[in-house]
Amino acid sequence: MKYLLLSCCLLFASYSAQSQFQVDENGLTIIVTDGTENGKNSEIINRSDIPTSYDQIRSKSGKSGKSSNLSSVNNGIVFNDPIRSLGMKNCIQAAAFLDRPKFGKMGFMLIFSLNDSIGGKQATHTENGKSYKGVYRLVRQKTSAKEAVPAGMTTYKVEGTFLLLGIS
């Protein structure tokens, strides 16, 4: 009986560990926390100032139709860029480093790709007292699969485990 219970526990643990790293059709989700679950309550003057959909933003600006720029009368912000998932399948890599760079390129993320190497050499990154081996990379997602790769850069597909260290 105890072997059956142990087998079930091991099976559940391995299934749980595997399922938490599966990428679904929604892409990658990165959770960032300071260790608390604190939130903010923004003060509002008029309840109707809180948009819950693009339709509300369009009606405030007096525009209609799907092709219009989505803007708010109050602040002039235009919402017309598509939001892409973080699947990281189609990336552009500006550079790869064995030393952590201090500067990047606007719009590129600095990641540390675990277990990667350049010419058989690896960098060491220490985070929370734990050391990792891999490569620092400056990457950004393509705006579309057909976007051309700028001169001097390469395509890159983020696979495996990586640490998101910052953005330029």
DSSP the chain: -HHHHHHHHHHHHHHHHHHTT--BTTB------SSS--------S-GGGS--SHHHHHHHHT--STTS-EE-TTT--EE-SPPPPS--SSEEEEEEESS--S---TTPEEEEEET--BTTB-EEEEETTEEEEEEEEEEEE-SSTTPPPPTT-EEE---S-EEEEEE-
pLDDT above 50 for 71: no
More confident residue, 164 or 76: 164
Report domain extents, the chain.
Answer: 48-79, 91-167
pLDDT in tens, 81-109: 777 766 667 789 999 999 999 999 998 99
Confidence bin at 137 (pLDDT 50/70/90): very high
pLDDT at 66: 47
- The reported pLDDT for the residue numbered 134 is 92
Most confident option among 14-28, 57-71, 78-92: 78-92
Q: Is the model's pLDDT at 129 over the cut of 60? A: yes
Query: Would the pLDDT of 80 be above 90?
Result: no
